[in-house]
């Protein structure tokens, strides 16, 4: 196996010069650098990645930190789609990707900085973190470059990627209003999510635009969980049978609302219209197929990796990526009789 010493001998220069030339230092003569690179190629020299990372303090590795990854979340395939997008961009840029999951108990054992140092990552993409998550403040305080998904943080070393959540919910409300619905409820997620606040804002603006009142009793939280949403919807629809449509902040919760309606003998969409948000794989396969606001999670992941690597390479530019969404009308919404 060829070594750096072999290159130095053939080029007639010191080992230090070879090292600096191959690592991109600017103090090496252009002609000498070219000669060294040609020899390295001729003798098929391959640098030791670990040793090189120690010298350069560059590992070409980024982390995806997912908070609260669970079996329940596997249904919505969002993490997988984001991960696939990140991985595709990283592969094209010759970066490695490390996935690490964090929970409340793990956060008590290790700080965010410790976790990043142990995994030897240059920067981190953070997904699924709540507003009250202990790591969130550590991320703010850290100088480790990071990109957050759906959490608005912007600085020299950080940025975020999100969809236009306000616009997305407004699209769903407009669609229902066009179908003649006036008694519209909302199944939101939970108060610790930035997207919950944005989607509720979109709901309010959509209702205001239509000249319809927002009934606070018709706003409830399903915690982004299908079973919880079903339980809450059972109570909501039993107490307020005049509700003709429910806008949901996620597809999983929308599926829970559909189940609740079926349990109460209310056929969807004939007797209740339901919209979701995300356009998970299940949305187009369930019966009836779910009307939903589609967000491109693969594109979000791809954009997050692009933004993080731009930050790592100290490129100037906007630290925010806003991904467009699209209303997909299927079979859970219908014109009111």
Nearest in space to 254 (alpha carbons), one of 195, 327, 186, 198: 186
Q: Which of 28, 56, 84 is the last residue of a domain?
A: 56
Mean pLDDT by 10 residues, the chain (337 residues): 86 88 80 89 71 56 82 73 95 91 64 79 89 77 88 88 96 98 97 93 98 97 96 98 98 98 97 97 95 97 96 88 96 95
Do 205 and 288 belong to one domain? yes
Do 105 and 94 belong to one domain? yes
52 belongs to a structural domain: yes
The per-residue pLDDT for 300 is 97
Total domain count, the chain: 3
The per-residue pLDDT for 70 is 64
Backbone angles phi, psi at 248, to 5 degrees: -115, 145
82 belongs to a structural domain: yes
Question: What is the pTM (predicted TM-score) of this model?
Answer: 0.80
329 belongs to a structural domain: no
The per-residue pLDDT for 99 is 87
Query: How far is the CA of 84 from the CAs of 18, 119, 300, 315, in angstroms?
Result: 37, 20, 10, 24
330 belongs to a structural domain: no
Place of tokens 């603006």: 205
Domain of 200 in residue numbering reads as: 165-295
Do 169 and 281 belong to one domain? yes
The per-residue pLDDT for 50 is 44
Q: How far apart are CA 301 and CA 310, in angstroms?
A: 14
């Amino acid at each position: 196996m060829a070594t750096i010493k072999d290159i130095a001998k053939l080029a007639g220069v010191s080992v230090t010069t070879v090292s600096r030339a191959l690592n991109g230092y600017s103090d090496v003569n252009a002609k000498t650098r070219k000669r060294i690179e040609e020899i390295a190629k001729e003798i098929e020299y391959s640098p030791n990645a670990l040793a090189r990372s120690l010298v350069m303090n560059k590992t070409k590795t980024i982390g995806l930190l997912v908070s609260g990854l669970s079996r329940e979340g596997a249904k919505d395939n969002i993490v997988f789609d984001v991960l696939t997008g990140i991985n595709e961009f990283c592969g094209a840029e010759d970066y490695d990707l490390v996935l690490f999951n964090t929970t409340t108990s793990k956060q008590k054992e290790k700080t965010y900085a410790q976790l990043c140092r142990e995994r030897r990552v240059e920067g981190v993409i953070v997904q699924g973190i709540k507003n009250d998550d202990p790591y969130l403040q550590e991320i703010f305080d850290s100088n480790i470059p990071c990109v957050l998904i759906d959490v608005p943080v912007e600085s020299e070393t950080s940025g975020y990627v999100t969809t236009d959540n306000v616009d997305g919910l407004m699209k769903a409300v407009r669609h229902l209003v066009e179908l003649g619905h006036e008694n519209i409820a909302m199944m939101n997620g939970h108060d610790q999510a930035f997207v919950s606040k944005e989607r509720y804002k979109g709901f309010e603006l959509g209702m205001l635009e239509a000249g319809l009142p927002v009934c606070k009793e018709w706003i409830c939280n399903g915690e982004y969980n299908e079973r919880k949403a079903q339980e809450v919807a059972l109570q909501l629809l039993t107490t307020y049978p005049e509700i003709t449509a429910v806008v949901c902040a996620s597809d999983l919760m929308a599926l829970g609302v559909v189940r609740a309606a079926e349990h109460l003998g209310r056929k969807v969409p004939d007797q209740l219209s339901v919209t979701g948000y995300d356009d998970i794989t299940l949305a187009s396969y369930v019966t009836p197929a779910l009307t939903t606001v589609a967000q491109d999670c693969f594109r979000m992941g791809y954009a997050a990796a692009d933004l993080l690597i731009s930050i790592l390479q100290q490129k100037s530019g906007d630290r925010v990526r806003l991904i467009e969404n699209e209303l997909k009308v299927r079979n859970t919404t219908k014109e009111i009789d």
